[in-house]
Amino acid sequence: MRFTIKRDEFLKGLNIASRAVQNKTPVPVLTNLKLDLNEEGLFITGSNYDLTIKTLIPHNVENNEIIRNYKEGSTLLNSRIFCEIIRKMESEEVTVEVIDSTLVTISDANSDYKLNCVRPEEYPDLDLDPEEISLTMTTAEFGLMVDQTAFAASTKEQRPYLTAINLEAGEGILTATATDSARMAKKNMSIPEGINFNVNIPARMMSEIAHLVEGTSSLEISVSNKKALFTFGKTIIATRLIAGDYPNTRNIAPRIVNHTLEVNAQSLIKAIDRANILSIDRENVVDLIMSEEGIEISAKSSQVGSAVERIDNYRYEGNPLTVSFNSEFVVAAVKALGSEDVLFSFVGEMKPFVIKNPSDESIIQVVTPVRTY
Amino acid sequence: MRFTIKRDEFLKGLNIASRAVQNKTPVPVLTNLKLDLNEEGLFITGSNYDLTIKTLIPHNVENNEIIRNYKEGSTLLNSRIFCEIIRKMESEEVTVEVIDSTLVTISDANSDYKLNCVRPEEYPDLDLDPEEISLTMTTAEFGLMVDQTAFAASTKEQRPYLTAINLEAGEGILTATATDSARMAKKNMSIPEGINFNVNIPARMMSEIAHLVEGTSSLEISVSNKKALFTFGKTIIATRLIAGDYPNTRNIAPRIVNHTLEVNAQSLIKAIDRANILSIDRENVVDLIMSEEGIEISAKSSQVGSAVERIDNYRYEGNPLTVSFNSEFVVAAVKALGSEDVLFSFVGEMKPFVIKNPSDESIIQVVTPVRTY
């Protein structure tokens, strides 16, 4: 294998594929990137088994020659070191050449690097074949779906399926759900009829993919009972699924509502953020004290002191009610709604409550209160 | 004590004084800021004993009323929590009032905070009286002096005086020296005749002070055998000194020079930075290979590979020479010189070498080579 390549295009491809590579892995060969050069162009593959990313740099892009003076072939190169060299080089083009099965040279006008490499046969076979059930959406829709839900997934591995976003397709609707059991985010999207699946995809990977698809216009999702594939531009990403039935979350949002509060999202976030300075004894727990006469956020520490924040411009309906909650959960939920005003619906002080964008029925956030003593 | 104060001016003062406060301290009262309001204005003091900062917010600045509706008095308030509250409040003015010796209220239109406070008598007496020997310089001169030397001080506490910048004044010259024994930076400045002192000030504090004086035009330094005082604008900073005789560094820079190299600073830094990717076996050690035919930076790892960087546009005089050095030391020294080109002077492969700005005799950097095997 040998090629001379435009460095900026090369770096874009390396930056995509290397995001799947972990420096510490029980499978040392996966610290490498796989480079395959053939008549289509240069394929770069990175993987940690759970996540595999394969991207193509074509020989020519819009009549610009990206790769020239090449000879087909494959090799495996340490991802971290190889990417760092290419990133720090300064010339417009770099030349990569496999000298023998154990040595690769990387060079430009002023730099000569020799890197030990690994034979391509040692790389595992990774399943990147497309699946039958597939779905196309814009990357904007996908990004919003992930942003509005992923934060609510658990970061603890005790119940692995809670670290996932559950994607359920059926009856023309795709529902993304994430919950760590103390809060839940659920987003609905219209999709074509006849697409049916129910899979759990690690929330971390969904966020990673949302980041990687930024800048492209649409992506295709295809799923089986083993893996999910995300295809966009010249890149294909495969993620493992998390086994196990996802909990039934259909009935978590209460049907009866006894108290509703509509407030400006920014005023609420800032008031919570300030009052939270005094949430020391019960970490991050603040009280929302509601009546038709006024809305307050309060927090108290016996050692340090107390905070009371009054919120102007609210609309409250119902008897007076005080609810204590984890301020981080409520702030994250309110931010995820992305709306100017937010609407809270309460059943009672210890029942899960709903936070919505008053003008967008596709997304709901549910938070369970914290017991106060 | 009671006052209503413009929040942005208050915050500026708090941000200055709180930089001396450490959250973890063997003296719990020093986690507080001291507020003293009298006819001059509001004094805010923060200290960790090693460093004390006292700043004044006057009642009026350029005919703008900063403090109004006030009653004189003093109190001690937890620095971290109090500063966070004032920073996160949103109104133009805030009101602070000592209710009794244990409780302070902080309020604006929407927020009411109550903080437990400590009686001012519990704060230690801190010596901030000016000393006789004093010196005025511009903050630009002071900042440059610190930037060009502080990085070369040791960060290890085994030999405390090596963590200091040594400031020696005499014969119309102020010399700042920092060394960790493997490298040295030395800066000279002209000062008035008749000022004589020799003190060791912790380099970390010199950097902190250089940061704090940014934005003012000049500062006054006054020293005794116990402390150094830095006065600028409405702020006074006291630092402890480090006891012990500073090593004699007058003869470290070699007098005989057998090899000289002049190169572009940026080309050199970038070449070292790239080659350093392969400095794995001997961490951060690269070789500088010099002859009249060419200049190369090289690094090698038996496991990973090797790097060779050629540097264009050099001027070398002397027999061929190879010197191995800690790349971080050389890059830091070259950056500190702040010049387009840098001039290296070598005696031999294992002798300390000098790096200079060819057009500025006031600063020299010395680095000791690393032994190669």
Query: What is the helix, strand, coil percentage profile of chain A, to 5?
Result: 25, 45, 30
**Residue B309 with chain A: CB contacts under 8 Å:** 110-111
The per-residue DSSP string of A53-82 comes to EEEEEESEETTEE-EEEEE-EEEEEEHHHH
Buried b / exposed e across B219-233, counting CB within 10 Å, b at 16+?
bebbbbeebbbbbbb
Provide the shortest C-alpha distance from residue A83 to chain B (in Å): 10
Residue of A166, A168, A175, A228 lying closest to A203 (CA atoms) = A166
Confidence of residue A140 (pLDDT cuts 50, 70, 90): very high
Beta carbon pairs, A and B, within 8 Å: 83
pLDDT in the model for residue A239: 95
Q: Residue A20: is its pLDDT beyond 80? A: yes
Please indicate if any CB of chain B lies within 8 Å of the CB of A266: no
Residues from chain B that touch A112, judged by Cβ atoms under 8 A, are: 307-308
Smallest Cβ distance to A85: which of B103, B271, B274?
Answer: B274
- pLDDT mean across residues, chain A: 95
Task: Tell whether B114 is within 8 A of chain A (Cβ).
Answer: yes
Q: What are phi and psi of A81, to 5 degrees?
A: -75, -45
Q: Does residue B348 contact residue B321 with C-beta atoms inside 8 Å?
A: yes
Q: Say how many CA atoms lie within 13 Å of B365 toward its Cβ.
A: 29
More confident residue, B263 or B372: B263
Sign of CA dihedral A191, A197, A200, A205: negative
pLDDT band for position A373 (cuts 50, 70, 90): low
Return d(Cα B192, Cα A27) in angstroms, integer. Answer: 67
- In degrees, rounded to 5, the angle at the alpha carbon of residue B299 between the alpha carbons of residues B344 and B275 is 75
End-to-end CA distance of chain A: 70
Q: Which residues contact A225 (CB under 8 A, 6 or more apart)?
A: A199, A241
Q: Are A349 and A323 in contact (CB under 8 A)?
A: yes
Which uninterrupted H or E stretch holds A94? Answer: strand A93-100
Does B116 contact chain A (CB < 8 Å)? yes
pLDDT surpasses 90 at A60: yes
Average pLDDT, chain B: 95
- Minimum Cα–Cα distance from A305: chain B residue: B115
Rounded CA-CA distance B115/B99 in Å is 10
Q: Which amino acid is at A126?
A: L
Write down the pLDDT at residue A250.
83
Any B CB within 8 A of A59 CB: no
**Tokens in use for B112?**
């009411």
Nearest to A117 by CA among A101, A133, A130, A129: A101
Lowest average pLDDT, out of A196-205, A246-255, B159-168, B360-369, goes to A246-255
Phi, psi angle pair for B304, to nearest 5°? -105, -45
Q: Does residue B296 belong to the interface with chain A, where contact is any CB pair within 8 Å?
A: no
Q: What angle do CA A335, A339, A340 make, to 5 degrees?
A: 105
**What is the three-class DSSP state of A121?**
helix
| Contact check, Cβ <8 Å, B310/A110 | yes
CA A101/CA A46 separation, integer angstroms: 20
Per-residue pLDDT tens over the stretch B18-71:
999 998 888 999 999 999 999 999 999 999 989 999 999 999 999 999 999 999
Beta bridge partners of A16: none
B226: which 2 tokens?
């116990």
Q: Which residue has the tokens 């193509």?
A: A56
- What number of other Cβ atoms are within 10 A of residue A173's Cβ? 14
Closest CB to B274 among A89, A303, A311:
A89
Query: How far is the CA of A79 from the CAs of A87, A94, A249, B307, in angstroms?
Result: 12, 17, 41, 16
pLDDT at residue B157, as a whole number: 87
DSSP label of B118:
B
**Interface with B, mutate which of A83, A91, A113, A263 (most B CBs under 10 A):** A113
Burial class (CB in 10 A: 0-12, 13-18, 19+), A313: exposed
pLDDT at B290 over 70: yes
- How far out from the chain centre does Cα B107 lie? 36
In this prediction, residues A283-296 reach a mean pLDDT of 95
Kindly state the average pLDDT of the residues B152-175: 95
Phi, psi of A265, rounded to the nearest 5 degrees: -65, -45
Is there a contact between A354 and A364 (Cβ–Cβ < 8 Å)? yes
User: Which pLDDT does position B7 carry in this prediction?
Assistant: 98
Distance from CA of A110 to the nearest CA of B (A): 5
**How much of chain B, in percent, has pLDDT values that exceed 70?**
100
Residue whose entry in the numeric block shows the structure tokens 């039958």: A132
Q: Are B149 and B178 in contact (CB under 8 A)?
A: yes
pLDDT number for residue A328: 97
Which amino acid, one-letter code, is at A98? V
Q: How far apart are CA B369 and CA B325, in angstroms?
A: 5
ipTM: 0.89
Q: Is the pLDDT of residue B89 over 80?
A: yes
Tokens found for residue B115: 């903080």
Interval B104-158: pLDDT, tens: 999 999 999 999 999 999 999 998 888 888 899 999 999 999 999 999 999 998 8
Assign B373 a pLDDT band (cuts: 50, 70, 90). Answer: low
CA distance A187 to chain B (A): 32
**For chain B, what is the radius of gyration of the CA atoms?**
25
Asked if B363 contacts B187 with a C-beta cutoff of 8 angstroms, the reply is yes
* 3-class DSSP assignment, residue B250: coil
Q: Which residues contact B62 (CB under 8 A, 6 or more apart)?
A: none
Q: Which single residue is written with the structure tokens 């006057």?
A: B58
Provide the terminal-to-terminal Cα distance of chain B, rounded to the nearest Å: 70
Mention every residue, 6+ apart, whose C-beta is less than 8 A from residue A157.
Answer: A163
The predicted model gives A118-146 an average pLDDT of 92
Residues A194-247 have pLDDT tens digits of 999 999 999 999 999 999 999 899 999 999 888 999 999 999 999 999 988 899
- Is the pLDDT confidence value at A286 over 80? yes
To the nearest 10°, report the CA torsion of A223, A228, A231, A232: 120
Q: How far apart are CA B70 and CA B6, in angstroms?
A: 13
**H or E segment and range at residue B56:** strand B51-58
Residue A118 DSSP code: B
Confidence of residue A281 (pLDDT cuts 50, 70, 90): confident
